[in-house]
Amino acid sequence: MTPKLPPLTDVLNLLPDAVCLVDVDGRYLFVSESFERIFGYAPGEVIGLRAFDLVHPDDRAATMQQAERVMDGEFQRHFRNRYLHKDGHAVDILWSARWLPEYGVRIGVAREISELRRAERELEHRAAHDLLTGLPNRLLLERRLREHMQRAAQSGGGLAVLYLDLDGFKAANDRCGHGAGDQVLREVAQRLQQSLRHGDLVARIGGDEFVVLLPGCSDAADAGAIADTLRARLQPPYTLPDGPLQLDASVGIACYPGDGRDLDTLLANADRAMYADKRQAARRRA
């Protein structure tokens, strides 16, 4: 028996990815059956519609720019964007696309990567956040600090950094073990977050040390007032299995640009100021 090739549509409908053909105006001419599995729309529902109308609003501008590049002859293999599913949720898509001028159509192959994007976002979050408290870590702090220093340099504004070290925290580990100490650190993180202004950032940079970034605060007195508020928020007792724990904090303040025009200098001066505050507190208690 001589083999006979099936219709191309039957082959395309077997693919797990969605194959789409659109005209020069971006209107659907054909979609394979996987389009419904990925986007929720049956093929008959989208023929004649503009593909851009289904793109997530936040991704439309970039998608239109990419389509123009494809129409100019660039073969696109790895463009990512989000579409809106028929039921309203966003779907992450990886596209391969090519313009076929001899036919007047653009062909695209869509692969859903929503699970991949969720995994990527989780890894990105873990890379930039402290696993114990969920606060930003040093990596994210330094990234945000550089961004705000650049903005302050351009606008002539300022910003302040608070370097905060807990006083009395060691007792939590000594009395009840590291599990209790971890719980105290999580509660400290919550109290700090709840006490900040909109746009401020608090990061845990190790042990019982935290750094607070105060964009737009260039006055040491204003930064000091915020530091006093944070210290007061941390002072109510923490509950341990063997009874309450009282904490305080030593806080060092550094303001951009007076205390440093680069990240390392600004953080180092805040760190030094924190240790000076700790020494003064120790002398007061002596």
DSSP string, 29-66: EEE-THHHHHHS--HHHHTTSBGGGGB-GGGHHHHHHH
Report yes or no: 249 and 185 within 8 Å, Cβ to Cβ.
no
Dig out the tokens for 18 from the structure: 């969605």
Q: Please state, as a whole number, how many other Cβ atoms lie within 10 Å of the Cβ of residue 83.
A: 22
User: Of 102, 65, 69, 100, which is closest to residue 81 (Cα–Cα)?
Assistant: 65
The residues pairing with 30 across neighbouring beta strands, listed in sequence order, are 21
Report yes or no: 78 and 94 within 8 Å, Cβ to Cβ.
yes
Q: How many residues does the chain have?
A: 286
Q: Tell me which H or E stretch contains 18.
A: strand 18-22
- As a whole number of Å, the CA-based R_g of the chain is 28
Q: Tell me which H or E stretch contains 202.
A: strand 201-206
Tokens 């006490």 appear where? 195
Report yes or no: 152 and 159 within 8 Å, Cβ to Cβ.
yes
Note if 23 is an active site residue: no
- Selecting among 17, 167, 208, 271, the annotated active-site residue is 208
Catalytic residues: 208
